[in-house]
Every structure is written in structure tokens, then in C-alpha cells.
Amino acid sequence: MDGVRVGTRLDGNIPDGDPATAWDRRRAEYKLVSPLNARKFTVVVVGTGLAGSGAAAALGELGFKVHAFTYHDSPRRAHSVAAQGGINAARGRKVDGDSLRRFVVDTVKGGDFRAREAEAFRLGQESIRVIDHMNAIGAPFAREYGGMLATRSFGGVQVSRTYYTRGQTGQQLQIAGAQALQRQVHLGNVELHERTEMLDLIVDDGVCRGVVVRDLVSGQVWAQPAHAVILATGGYGSVYFHSTLAMNSNATAVWRAARRGAYLSHASFVQFHPTALPISSHWQSKTILMSESLRNDGRIWVPKKAGDDRAPADIPEDERDYYLERKYPSFGNLSPRDISSRAAKERIDAGHGVGPLHNSVYLDFSDALKEHGRETIAARYGNLFDMYSHATGEDPYEVPMRIAPGAHFTMGGLWSDYDQMTSIPGLFVGGEASWAYHGANRLGANSLLSACVDGWFTLPYSVPNYLSGHLGERLPGADDACVRDAVGRVQTRTSALLDVGGDLAPSHFHRELGEIMYRGVGVERTSEGLRTAIEEIRDLRRRFWRNVRVPGTGAHLNQALERAGRIADFLELAEVMAVDALDRQESCGAHFRSEFQDAGEAKRDDEHWAFASAWEALGDPGATDDLRFTRHAEPLTFTSVPLATRSYR
């Protein structure tokens, strides 16, 4: 692509040999830190969701001195609570043909062969320990009558491997993880910093040496040096404004790390969840997620006749198009999320959308209610049905739900090697802030799993391995140049935002950015649309730095300042996402370029694009200067799960 510089070939540091045994061999090779030396190391963990709370608690248990940071008023409020449907595991307790091998095939295939094969094996292997561990620390998993943990199915698989706590799985796992973290806080192994936001990295001679944070209540900016830093700050789907993420979810920690030299991989791989609630008003601030687990019993359909405004009960069975069952009979309503979202958009764009704005499809439980009865369906999904009713005023026991694709999960994140260390030595990443495991599309219920695997069972091995080579290393002090420079950058950027003195609130620019992103970098992309989006993003960024209004000062609680800083980061990150989407001249998973398709299905180009793009962003992000990009690449190879055309028919 014009303006993109091709950089270096990246080494993922994956163990040679059979990917099925790579993680066992790597763990056996890791260097250790003795209990007597652990307290000599300081580790910073940013984020207290499932990945962050797990890593902080595990490292605290091992004896390291841990500082955990969250901008929430409590670690249990991290966005992991929002995940509803379940967590996958290859425990194979049901006689339905599941196995570790099948889990890996489903994950690699589900990601359209754009993730590391060896990491899919690690995810499946550790999934067994994750369920046992989370069950042991208090997650109340659903059980069968005889006491065995219950499972259900999720999209992209034909087996039942998803463990769940009704429709509250993320919330219950987060509570368990936060309790484990608070235990370490009580024991004095972890120092917890609430209402504190990371705004920059301390980097000394190319090595990460800590973070700079801002107390969101007092406005104080201060530095926390560390021997290693873990970013577990979630995804960046809220760049689209209307997303299933919480309004405070943001990309600042990840993007500030990228501005210090960390590479951003798979930037444009964004999952649009097929069962979000449709936008009902332009002024709506976000969408609401309805769990994918609903697709176990709900059937998705639209009227066969375009523009049919009859009530759903008045549309006869032979005038309904169960389009997923028609197009993908082997998987039907449990087809993967990217395929399901694209199919829904195609029906809506063709004039078959339903609802007042004709921007949704039906998710209908009438057949399941007839077969199983209201009591059984309520036991499976009651809290989700209640949530839908509260949000829409409609009773899903009586009328079908209305759903539509909504920006949700970002498969992209900071590039990291097999040990989860980024391109900056000493900076690690976990959870959705990382690019690992999911490739171009995430299978449902693999997000909670990947966060738990990272936090509890990967970073507690790989971080000590790194630290073992830094025993006796002095941490930088307040007078060291690297600390002064990092603090100075934060203060300069804060002053710049306060000094603009424009007329428009930060949310005005965020909303406009979301419209650009949905239009140009949404479910379906084109070369022309992406080029237009890039220019529109650049223009919007210039207008932001001329017209944004941030009242008050930085010396106290100032939510307008918080939002302005986060939106300024979104305005830079969005350009990288569009550039990545334009650069990747193929369709794969959630990245669907209309120029590259085969009968409406994504058409990969393994000869030219079987690699992970890792973007380095350079340039002054001010009002007049554009960013410059270098695309580094890590080749992806597949030996255990050979490259194949992805089909769910």
C-alpha cells in the first residue's frame, strides 16, 4: 500500500518441533526466581480484569512485589464482568467426540488460519486447568443433576465444551479472580491502586522500566518504576463509539505503549457480535450484548419478502427465511460470529431487516418454548431474557428478540512473542490487549478462556523467566532522565488538551469517529471505503485538536480531560486500523474485503498474506502532522492443522 514501509521479519520465539508439545517444552526450559529473590523484583500489572487480576494474584502468591493499577473504583468492576455466555475447555467430559485435538482444530479454523498454531495448543491444554482452578476459587459453574459441571455449545463448534454460570459467567469469574487478588492485597504482596490510569511507559535504552499514571481523583501524575510491566487493559472495540463495551473502555494503555515502540498486530481484525441489540436512536450511547449462548435454542430469521412490516406472529412459516440454517446447514444458528454477522448484514442491506428502523433480524425462541417449556428456557437464559425486556420493553417469551451485528471484540492487540513479551523488552501483555490465540475471528467463549490462561498459567511462568536475568538491577528514580521524560510527556499532553479551548465536547468527535469506522472499517470493507476513511480520520483528528473543549484543570477530578485523552488516542489508533485493513489484500475471518470473496465467502490468500502484520507508528500526532507506518511481519506456519478452505456448510 502507498505510504507503508515494509519492515523486518519478526521471530515469534516459538519452540521448534511439534506444536502440540511446544508449551510443555518451553515451560521446562524457563528459568526460575527463588522465593528469597522474588521480593527483590517489582512488577506492575495494569488492569484488573480476568487476565490482570490473575497475573497480579499469581505473581503476588509467588512472592514478587506487585503494583496493580485500575481506573475503576474496585477491581471487580473490570469489563470482564460483561461476558455472559461461558468459557471453553477441552475437558471432553461428554461423549460427543470432543478432544484437545478438536479444540485446536476449531480454534485455528475459527481464526481463519491467522493465529499461531502452537498457541492454540497452549490454550486448549491449559483450559482444563482453568476450569478446575476457577471452580476451586469460587466460580459457581452450572451443574448437571448428578453434580458434574454442565456444558453447552457455542458458535463455530459441533460439540458441547462451554462451561457457564447461567448468563453471568464473566461476572462470576471476575468476582472469583478479584477475590484472589484482594487476598494478596490483604497479605501485603500486592499494592492496589484504584481510580488510577496509566498514561505512559517508562522506557530506558529500549527496555520497559515502569509506568506513569494519573490519580483520577486528585489529578496527581506520578511514576511507578518496575522490573517488568504487564498490560492487561482489554480491547479497543469502543473506538466504534457504538459497541458492546462499557463507555469507559478505551485503548489508551495499549496505544501509549505503541507510541513508545510496541508493535500493534492484527489491528483491523474486529469482531462484530451477531447478537447485539440494534441501535434504536442516533443518540444512543452504546449497544447491548445478548449472549451467543442464546443461539443454542433461538432460531434466526427474516421475512422472505423485502420490506415486510407485519408482526412476526403474522408471518407464516413458509414466508420466513432461516438464512443461517439455509446457507450453513452443518452449523446453522451456531455458525461462527464473523459469518453470522456478515450474513445478517447482507439480509438487512437487501431490505429484509425488521424492527422500526429495519436494522435487525429476529432471534426466535417460540420453537424451543414449545419443545422445552418456559420453565426450562427461563432456567437457561432467564437473566438474559430479563435484561432484554428491560432494555427494549418487549417480552422475548412472547415475541422474538431483535438483534444486529455490533462492534465487540478486537482480535488485534500488542504483538508479543510466544512468551507474551512485546517488542519492548520487559513489557508483557495478556488478555484482549494481546493479539494472541484468535487470529482473524474469535470463537465464542474463547475470550474468558484466553484471559484466564494468560493471567493464571502463562505470565506467571514467562515473567519470572525474564526477571531471572535482571537480579540486582536498580530501578530508575525520579531524577533519572527516562522517568523525567515520561512524566514530562504526560504533563505536556495534558496541557495541550486543556489549552485547545474549542467549542465541542470530546464525545462529539468520538461519535463522528464511530460513524466513520462503521461506514469504512465495519463488517465489510472496500479499497475505496478504506481510503476515504483514512482521510476522514485524519481530518477529524485535525479538527479535534482545533475545536475540542476541555473545561477545568488537570489538578483535580476531571472526566472531560479523561475522555479527551482517550479519544485523542482513538483518533490515532483508528488510522492504524484502517491502514491495516487497506494493506491486507485478502479476506479472512472478520476482515472481509468485498474485492476478495468467493460466492460471498471470505477468500484468503495464503501465498501472500499468511503472516501477522505488526505495525510501528511514527510521527508527531499533532493537528497538522500525519502518522507514518512501518509494517513488520511474522510468518505463520501450520503443520498439525494444515491450511484449508474454511467451510461451515
DSSP structural state of residue 522: S
C-alpha grid cell for residue 245? 463495551
Contact 361/403 with Cβ under 8 angstroms? yes
Q: Closest by alpha carbon to 299, among 372, 353, 384, 365?
A: 365
Contact 454/175 with Cβ under 8 angstroms? no
Distant-in-sequence, close-in-space partners of 166: CB < 8 Å, separation ≥ 6? 142, 380, 381, 382, 383
SS3 378: helix
Q: How far apart are CA 385 and CA 59, in angstroms?
A: 39
Distant-in-sequence, close-in-space partners of 122: CB < 8 Å, separation ≥ 6? 22, 23, 453, 458
Q: How far apart are CA 97 and CA 95, in angstroms?
A: 6
C-alpha grid cell for residue 63? 512472592
Other C-beta atoms closer than 10 Å to the C-beta of 36 total 8
Contact 4/583 with Cβ under 8 angstroms? yes
Kindly give the pairing relationship between strand 42-46 and strand 228-231.
parallel
Q: Please work out, in degrees rounded to the nearest 5, the angle formed at the alpha carbon of residue 471 by the alpha carbons of 465 and 472.
A: 165
Choose, from 76, 91, 299, 337, the residue flagged as catalytic.
337
What is the DSSP code string of 68-136?
Answer: EE-SSSSGGGSGGGG--S-EE-----SSSS--HHHHHHHHHHHTTT-S-HHHHHHHHHHHHHHHHHHHH
Grid cell 494444515 in the structure block, residue: 642
Q: Can you give the three-state secondary structure of 122-165, one letter per residue?
A: HHHHHHHHHHHHHHHCCCCCCECCCCCECEECCCCCCCCCEECC
Whether 337 is catalytic: yes
SS3 501: coil
Kind plus residue range of the DSSP H or E element containing 6: strand 4-9
Which residues does the annotation mark as catalytic? 337
